[in-house]
């Protein structure tokens, strides 16, 4: 059993598919540090959640962001704040005014079991476009991978390509090996 600190049950279902074990969704608030990189945020979050929750089951958290090449990776770890402050339409408009619309979604899974704290990163490349599609959430309507935005893909299709899926793949391989060595 792994506890996933998220309020999104879809993330837990996705993690369970990669891990081949039960994944419990835990809604737990902790003070998230600000950093210019996702890795220390996820590492801190995993440790804080493990320490703050009762029990000895391992926990995972994730941190993710949109990294726009023309802006040296901004908004990156500040993606949620920028989305809430400016909105995705304005972010797309500003990015499309730059000479380079390349971007990537990045995710880092943080894991803690009390004695081990690890992180696992995933990235998917694409470009910023005018908003399209009705699915997904956040920046999905302005992030095009291949010939469609994440918002134009089904949940299953997006999960097969997503930054979180790539981080979960890396985590699942490590987790399987870690469980076997115990």
| Residue 174's CATH number | 3.90.950.10
Point out the catalytic residue in the list 63, 72, 113, 176.
Answer: 63
Residues 83, 86: Cα–Cα separation, whole Å? 6
Residue 159's Cβ-side half-sphere holds a number of Cα atoms within 13 Å equal to 13
Name the domain count of the chain.
1
pLDDT in tens, 114-156: 999 999 999 999 999 999 999 988 999 999 999 999 999 998 8
Helices and strands (H, E) in the chain, number of each type: 6, 8
Q: Active-site residue 63, yes or no?
A: yes
Q: In which domain, by residue range, is 34 found?
A: 2-181
Whether the predicted model's global pTM rises above the 0.75 cut = yes
């Amino acid at each position: 059993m792994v506890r996933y600190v998220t309020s999104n049950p879809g993330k837990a279902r996705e993690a369970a598919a990669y891990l081949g074990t039960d994944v419990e969704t835990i809604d737990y608030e902790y003070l998230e540090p600000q950093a210019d990189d996702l890795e220390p945020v996820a590492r801190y979050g995993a440790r804080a959640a493990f320490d703050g929750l009762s029990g000895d089951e391992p926990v995972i958290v994730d941190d993710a962001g949109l990294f726009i090449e023309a802006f040296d990776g901004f908004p990156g770890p500040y993606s949620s704040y920028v989305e809430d402050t400016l909105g995705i339409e304005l972010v797309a408009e500003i990015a499309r005014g730059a000479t380079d619309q390349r971007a990537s979604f990045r995710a880092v899974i943080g894991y803690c079991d009390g004695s081990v704290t690890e992180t696992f990163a995933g990235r998917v490349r694409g470009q910023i476009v005018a908003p399209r599609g009705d699915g997904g959430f956040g920046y999905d309507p302005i992030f095009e991978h291949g010939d469609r935005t994440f918002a134009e893909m089904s949940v299953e299709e997006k999960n097969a390509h997503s930054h979180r899926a790539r981080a979960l793949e890396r985590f699942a391989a490590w987790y399987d090996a870690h469980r076997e060595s115990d």
